[in-house]
Amino acid sequence: MLLFVGLGNPGERYAGNRHNIGFMAVQAIAKQHRIAPWRRKFQGVAGEGTIGAEKVLLLLPDTFMNESGRAVAEAAHFYKLEAGSVVVFHDEAELAPGKVRVKKGGGNAGHNGLRSITEHIGNDYHRVRLGIGHPGSKDRMESYVLQDFAKSERPWVEALCGIVADNVALLIEGKDSTFQNKVHLAMSAQGFGGTEPDDTKGEE
């Protein structure tokens, strides 16, 4: 089993925030792969299903971003999952809007949700970094991520989440570079972001 975690803040007030693109991506995965219903558990809402041949648990923590690790740890411990079986979808200001990078481990780059998860389960989980762009100044970061996506941004956000959902089976198969390339090529084909495929060769 794999645990897919979307990061964000709970409640209608935050639903459209840039910080909540992780929630949006995991909700798109649930819709695309017909994983339902969502049930209240593990200090959040969770849905269990199958993608390809793999069982997956989707989790949206209700703990607010800076306490996300509590919910992730509870779910991981219940299913006796190691950190390597956890995949976290989150906003990434260091990537251009619509760009995606996948990595295992590494630094948290000031992201409070990642910091909390690392404190609870260690650092060896996978991160799907969803680019939201940078406000230009660190001083503006908090207000930037807690703002809703602008109306003009919503088409690429919806496209990105849908494309991630379409290709998520590649992540399950461990084909991270292929997943990145497929997402970027599909985004480019839809006219978003002028994205380019990665230089790294996909593991077909």
Please state the domain extents for the chain: 2-189
Per-residue pLDDT band at 108 (split at 50, 70, 90): confident
Q: Which entry of 19, 33, 120, 184 is annotated as an active-site residue?
A: 19
SS3 for 46?
A: strand
The pLDDT score that the predictor gives to residue 5 is 98
In this structure, the number of other CB atoms found within 10 A of the CB of residue 23 comes to 25
37: burial class by Cβ within 10 Å (0-12, 13-18, 19+)? exposed
Calpha distance 78→135 (Å, rounded): 39
**pLDDT tens across 76-94, in order?**
999 999 999 999 999 999 9
Candidates 3.90.380.10, 3.40.50.1470, 1.10.150.20, 3.20.20.140; correct CATH number of 2-189?
Answer: 3.40.50.1470
SS3 for 45?
A: strand
Upstream peptide bond of 10 is cis (omega within 30 degrees of 0): no
The pLDDT score that the predictor gives to residue 112 is 85
Q: Token pair of 24, please?
A: 């949006």
* Side chain identity at residue 42, one-letter code: F
Q: Supply angle C-alpha 17, 21, 23, rounded to 5.
A: 105
Q: What CA–CA distances, in Å, run from 67 to 34, 59, 112, 117? A: 28, 14, 8, 8
The reply to whether 77 belongs to the active site is no
Does this model's pTM top 0.75? My answer is: yes
**pLDDT tens across 153-186, in order?**
999 999 999 999 999 999 999 999 999 999 999 9
Determine what percent of the chain falls in helix, strand and coil, rounding each to the nearest 5. Answer: 40, 20, 35
pLDDT higher than 80, residue 199: no
Closest alpha carbon to 171 in 93, 79, 104 = 104
CB-CB contact of 87 with 125 (8 Å): yes
**pLDDT tens across 9-23, in order?**
999 999 999 999 999
